[in-house]
Structure 1
């Protein structure tokens, strides 16, 4: 069964400059850039509601249509406003579904540790790890069962 990717609505952005970008944001669009090694960068405008929905899905690979061609991209960087926390700019990097890439995947702890029930404290140092895989096989999260974890026990990355 083919994997379905969330669609991000983009359009080519021809205008540059602070005033033009502010007007773009007032119209419910977010400026962005699309790039891939060996290709020319493309300035984009992205629908704000559509982008926020895509960010909330937890997916790592998205589908965009540019110049009548469907491309697959990952969100490489997101810039947020320091006060309002609104998205100010997005970098989309093209991915080839046949090439391995590095993705940052969250670590989710599952279960109640025996050591915590005995009065210990659970300390999670690492909340995400980088994995190298095909864009078609990216897990949403890495689940770690901690129910057998006793007092003064640890789990290292090698154990995962």
Structure 2
């Protein structure tokens, strides 16, 4: 897992007005906390942060007033309509430290023929991993699965050093049977027959 270097400026102005002013400069207000330290309010470069956050659980190497800190995103707020970053909470981590995070579940492969549907019951898995080796995602094969099949959390192979925090028996993916549709021509024929009987 690669580290993304980002410079952070300590800020002393708070409130909605100050936050709006920061965002007008294409920057994002945030707070960095963890390891029993006092929260540090920072301003981060908007474009660089947006690119970094495309990677789930990205490891950020923060330069805060000349001091280097490692952090991962804890909470990211985006504008509901325009999608720009409103605020970010970052939690400090250390190399070798284990953290609990959510990682996306990706399905690959084709289901058995029959038009069945794959339902993602869980889009993410809660796992414990070393802070500098958090997997970006976990991939699950659904090749050839038929209606009624399901994949539980414990069935998913995790990378070395990563342990499951989600309930082992939780259903992650399941295959739903295709809905049977009445052929249109048949239905039309029945309607005509019914009209003839009424006449």
Higher relative contact order (CA closer than 8 Å, sequence separation 6+): 1
* Alpha-carbon distance, 1:59 to partner: 4.8
Give ranges in structure 1 of 5+ residues lacking alignment: none
**Partner Cα separation in structure 1 for residue 136 and residue 31 of structure 2:** 25
Give the SS at the match of 2:47.
helix
- Aligned length, in residue pairs: 156
Identify which of 108, 111, 131 aligns with 2:127.
131
**Partner Cα separation in structure 2 for residue 95 and residue 150 of structure 1:** 43
Matched, 1:142 2:138: yes
Following superposition of structure 1 onto structure 2, how do residues 107-118 of structure 1 map, counting pairs within 5 Å?
Answer: 107-114=105-112, 117-118=113-114
* Alpha-carbon distance, 1:52 to partner: 0.7
Q: CA-to-partner distance for each residue in 1:75-123, whole Å, 9 max, x for gaps?
A: 1011122332221111111011221110110110010011xx2232222
* TM score, norm. by length of structure 1: 0.90
Give ranges in structure 2 of 5+ residues lacking alignment: 157-199
CA RMSD between the two structures:
1.5
* TM score, norm. by length of structure 2: 0.73
Conserved? CA contact 2:101–2:127, under 8 Å? yes
Say if 1:18 and 1:150 are closer, same or farther in 2 by CA, change over 3 A: closer
